[in-house]
Amino acid sequence: MNYEPVIGLEIHVELKTKSGMFCGCPADHFGKTPNTGTCPVCLGLPGALPIPNKKAVEWTIMLGLALGSTVSEVSKFDRKHYFYPDLPKGYQISQYDQPLCRGGKIETSQGTVRIHRVHLEEDTGKLQHAMVDGKKVTLVDFNRSGVPLVEIVTEADIHSADQAKEFLKKLHQIVRYLGISDADMEKGSMRLEPNISIRKVGETALPPYKVEVKNINSFRFAAMAIEYEIKRHATILESGSIPAQETRGWDEAKNATVSQRSKEEAADYRYFPEPDIPPLRFTRGYIEGIRQSMPLLPDERKQKIVKEFGLNEQQATVLIDDERKLNLFESTVLSNAVVSAGISGATVANWIINKVADYGVATTQQVAADIVESQKITVIDESELQNVLATVISSNDKAVADYKKGKQQSLMFLMGQVKRQIPKGNTQQILDALKAALDTQ
Amino acid sequence: MLIDLPISELSEKLRSKTVTSVDIISECYDQIEAHESKLNSFITLVDRETAIAKAKAIDETIATHASPLAGIPYVMKDAYLTRGVRTTAASKILDSFIPPYSATVHRKLEEAGAILIGKMNMDAWGHGASTENTDYGPTKNPWDQERSAGGSGGGPAAAIAARFCSFGIGEDTGGSIRNPAAWNNISAMKVTYGRVSRYGAIAYASSLDTMGPTAKTAQDCAYVLETIAGVDPYDATSSPKPVPPYTKEIGASSKGKKIALPSEFFGDALDPEIKAAIMEAREVFESAGAEVTEVSLPLLEYGVPVYYILAPSETSSNLSRYDGVRYGGKRSLFTKENKRRIMTGTYALSSGYYDAYYKKAQKVRSLFISEYTKLLSQYDAILSPVTPIMPSKFGELLDDPMKNMMADLYTVTVNIVGLPSLSLPCGFGKTNLPIGMQLVGNMFSESTLFALGHTYQQKTDWHTRQPTLVSSK
Ligand SMILES: [Zn+2]
């Protein structure tokens, strides 16, 4: 039987704002001593109240605009209730039925992936399992509690692991180019949750089940989890059953997904509007202001470097892949050293792609100097040049005669003869001198 | 007694050094030592030495304090976080909770130089109207110790009536500041939602909770509100509207003021003694030149159902942080009434029931807002009773959850809309139990209500009467 995967993605991205989603604590929590960046608000102490972070709201809207979403003119926060020791209030402040942004899309080589919604919420604390005084204990670090978290939800438009990976890479790129998150997978600042089901090819209705794989921290694992699930579902369907609706996790050691929670255990989050935060209202002018302040997106910058610097598609794709690479290219190609040496964009691109090892360290000045040096052409001594020209002309009578009859190929032949003797010579200088010498013959 | 004097007079005496803050504080502690054992109004009493030391410091620097509250003793309902001073919300769950930060209201009062002497008894988490539903024993009514001091803020009200302090800070979600004021013969202002910061006050129902003053008179309440009101960067629901000079505007005449008297408030549920007292108050206002007109507020009967969906829903959420992981006390320490409200709210918010309960209640809330807005566009205030019943005997409300709910009949609608309401003493029943009335005004019209209340208290002496306990030895 032939099956078609039906995949949707939920992606959480931690914003790199200075302060928390609802308090003044630093949002940068990675590698900090546990529970040093906390306050009554993010600890959920009695009486503490949330104050929404304007920058986080603005950046979420900006991401929505970059994805082509419609920004809601009225939005609100809601409480999502569940019990877990890393959730100090017993609820997470999230958005339920009026997210900041709805709709939008990202194009992939296998088709359009529509965005369902983009909303803003707060991150939770983190549990640490440890031994204290010889006892196994679980400790809570609240440094991450209250860090702004954007959730991007797609429609179930993805039909392969490769397409999922391509989508995720593009989204990652957009987030990085907007400068709103490091989206560092290893630090957990971008987390992936595919929803996977499969149906017979030709069917159009959504399958009667869905499996969610939680908290994957690399594009590769996301692709592997999707492949694994597709095979697993096919086997179950072939046996005449329907896969269970459940939440699974990716087990790196086993290279397999493992069941975590079934539908029956699914929580009722008892969403209701967060009474501590008045609804958010945005004017058109405010949203337009954000649009105006948006940096160029990866696709726009790609088009720009192809058009302005004559790069080919492949070079542009490689440069766009990493914004540091692209920035280095743009600054180098426009540097005085490169411009005055008349070096082409393609040459600069090739050099940066092939010769620069560390984009984080390389400076524009150094790279430009290296490229100019590599392309350096010797300006040869005029008398030496005249000697070579005289020798070449006198020993190639036929070619000289052909040139005089108007045969351009002969000029190129003579040029080659000269270059063989002065390989580093400036082509233009030689050509001009050769023409002058032939004309006075 | 010094503590009988209004805040304005005490403040003058402190400044002219005819009285010291140490004198006032000492008198309060003597009074507490003599009578607190009969009332049980405190959960945590600040020790005498600490309070006296603070008073001494104020006495020495009195000239540098701008606030009339400097050196004046006060108490807070135990729902307010007070840095370094235990805060329990009257629940054993927080029995050993020493807050690492202070509520904005507390911070403002400390900055003003007022002297906190205690954290007061209440129904645990604000759930109740009788201060019986507390883990620290019920607070007894100073007028009759067989009876409840009202609730949920029975502690602060009893303490003011017993002359343990000059003023108190209450918290009103459905009547918790007005109901005890009425049953203890004191005054209280339930403020407009957003007028006073909620930061650091333990939330009962966030969209209904308001923080306000309670004291012997409307004027004393005005002094306190002037100090604690205003926008707070730590509370997104606090209003940026400037705070009027309440104590300057309190002398405004009541002549020509329009007062509405909704007939629905005077139905069968109302005790005839209370009805008679309100009718007398009506005449007092008329004699002051106000115009009192009978009107209709047909939605009234839906107030209690709407309140008992919204408040439990929000409280089920707000209390979910007391999950046994932090703070020491386990969830089994929630009282029966706490559990009843948590379960009701959890049910109302569950998927499949949300639309039928919470969402519907919010729709009715909108109707209340438009009905009150319409009425208050034509009137300066609405006059009504505070409670339908006289102070209840212990056990009466505890044993009858329905009766307990109906005690809130006249107060909850005000919270649903977010309006301010001034509660004032307006008479006594045959058995010498106090009766209260309330003046409800438009959003942010506290100044108008204070002026009406002040006029009334110039013409009456109910508010000056003390329980016999005060002067007994
Ligand atoms: Zn914080």
Distance from the A277 Cα atom to the nearest Cα atom in chain B, whole angstroms: 6
With bands split at pLDDT 50, 70 and 90, how would you rate the model's confidence at A67? Answer: very high
Inspect the interface and report whether the beta carbons of A49 and B234 lie closer than 8 Å. yes
- CB-CB contact of B412 with B400 (8 Å): no
Dihedrals φ, ψ of A161, to 5°? -65, -40
| Average of per-residue pLDDT values in chain B | 97
User: Is the pLDDT at A193 greater than 90, yes or no?
Assistant: yes
| Average of per-residue pLDDT values in chain A | 92
* Total domains present in chain B: 1
Rounded to whole angstroms, how far apart are CA atoms A3 and A201?
A: 5
Residue of B nearest to A41 (CA): B234
Rounded to whole angstroms, how far apart are CA atoms B234 and B236?
A: 6
**CA A139–ligand 1 middle distance (angstroms):** 18
Any idea how long chain B is? 473
**Nearest CB to A91 within list B103, B234, B317:** B317
Instruction: From residue B304, give the alpha-carbon distance in Å to each of A180, B307, B418, B442.
Output: 47, 5, 15, 21
DSSP letters of A190-241? Answer: EEEEEEEEEEETT--SPPS--EEEE-B--HHHHHHHHHHHHHHHHHHHHTT-
Inspect the interface and report whether the beta carbons of A270 and B89 lie closer than 8 Å. no
- CB-CB contact of B391 with B145 (8 Å): no
Position A20 scores a pLDDT of: 98
Q: Does B353 touch chain A (CB under 8 A)?
A: no
Best interface-test mutation with B: which of A140, A272, A277 has the largest number of B CBs within 10 A? A272
Say which residue the tokens 């720009």 belong to. A304
Token pair belonging to B251: 């002398």
Inspect the interface and report whether the beta carbons of B346 and A51 lie closer than 8 Å. no
Instruction: From residue A154, give the alpha-carbon distance in Å to each of A149, A185, A193, B367, B415.
Output: 16, 19, 11, 38, 41
Provide, as residue numbers in chain B, all residues whose Cβ is less than 8 Å from the Cβ of A52.
Answer: 236
Token pair belonging to A53: 């972070």
Position A266 scores a pLDDT of: 64
Chain segment B29-51, per-residue pLDDT in tens: 999 999 999 999 999 999 999 99
Inspect the interface and report whether the beta carbons of A275 and B237 lie closer than 8 Å. yes
Rounded to whole angstroms, how far apart are CA atoms B235 and B240?
A: 11
**CA A17–ligand 1 middle distance (angstroms):** 13
Whole-complex ipTM: 0.96
What CATH code is carried by the domain that includes residue B183?
3.90.1300.10
Rounded to whole angstroms, how far apart are CA atoms B465 and B23?
A: 23
The b/e string for B321-331 (b: 16+ C-beta within 10 A; e otherwise) is: bbbeebbebee
- CA-nearest of B216, B109, B219 to B159 is B216
Distance from the B26 Cα atom to the nearest Cα atom in chain A, whole angstroms: 32
Q: Which of B152, B166, B187, B392 is catalytic?
A: B152
A31-35, A144-148, B207-211, B350-354: which has the minimum mean pLDDT? B350-354
Position A264 scores a pLDDT of: 63
User: Is the pLDDT at A418 greater than 90, yes or no?
Assistant: no
Chain segment A306-356, per-residue pLDDT in tens: 999 999 989 999 999 888 889 999 999 998 888 888 888 988 998 888 888
If you ran DSSP here, which 8-state letter would residue B46 be given? Answer: P
Distance of CA B382 to the CA centre of its chain: 18
Q: What is the mean pLDDT of residues A74-101?
A: 97
Token pair belonging to B347: 């049910």
User: Is the pLDDT at A145 greater than 80, yes or no?
Assistant: yes
User: Is the pLDDT at A238 greater than 90, yes or no?
Assistant: yes
User: Is the pLDDT at A215 greater than 90, yes or no?
Assistant: no
Chain segment B403-441, per-residue pLDDT in tens: 888 888 999 999 999 999 999 999 999 999 999 999 999
At the topology level, CATH places domain A382-439 in Arc Repressor Mutant, subunit A (1.10.10)
If you ran DSSP here, which 8-state letter would residue A179 be given? Answer: T
Distance of CA B299 to the CA centre of its chain: 24
Chain segment B440-455, per-residue pLDDT in tens: 999 999 999 999 999 9
- CB-CB contact of B164 with B32 (8 Å): yes
Partners of residue B169 on adjacent β-strands: B76, B213
Token pair belonging to A22: 């609802």
Q: What is the mean pLDDT of residues B249-255?
A: 98
The reply to whether B148 belongs to the active site is no
Q: What is the mean pLDDT of residues B282-294?
A: 98
Chain segment A364-387, per-residue pLDDT in tens: 888 888 888 877 766 677 888 888
N-terminal to C-terminal alpha carbon distance within chain B: 14
By the 10 Å C-beta count (0-12 exposed, 13-18 middle, 19+ buried), A378 is classed as: exposed
**CA A272–ligand 1 middle distance (angstroms):** 23
**Nearest CB to B321 within list A49, A90, A271:** A90
Q: Any idea where the domains of chain A sit in the sequence?
A: 3-288, 296-374, 382-439
Residue of A nearest to B207 (CA): A275
Inspect the interface and report whether the beta carbons of A49 and B236 lie closer than 8 Å. yes
Compute how many other C-beta atoms are within 10 angstroms of the C-beta atom of residue A236. Answer: 15
N-terminal to C-terminal alpha carbon distance within chain A: 82
Q: Does B67 touch chain A (CB under 8 A)?
A: no
User: Is the pLDDT at B314 greater than 80, yes or no?
Assistant: yes
Rounded to whole angstroms, how far apart are CA atoms B354 and B361?
A: 10
Instruction: From residue A188, give the alpha-carbon distance in Å to each of A83, A126, A149.
Output: 22, 11, 11
Q: Which residues in chain B (296-335) have CB-CB distances under 8 A to chain A? A: 313-314, 316-317, 319-321, 323, 325-326
SS3 category, B65: coil
Residues 6+ apart with CB under 8 A from A77: A50, A52, A93, A94, A95, A120, A273, A274, A277, A280
Position A265 scores a pLDDT of: 63
Chain segment A248-291, per-residue pLDDT in tens: 999 999 999 999 987 666 679 999 999 999 999 999 999 999 99
Q: Which range of residues forms the domain containing residue B351?
A: 2-471
Position A377 scores a pLDDT of: 63
The reply to whether B77 belongs to the active site is yes
Token pair belonging to A179: 């400068």
Rounded to whole angstroms, how far apart are CA atoms A205 and A194?
A: 19
Any idea how long chain A is? 441
The reply to whether B176 belongs to the active site is yes
Residue of B nearest to A81 (CA): B317
Angle, nearest 10°, between helix axes A298-309 and A345-355?
130
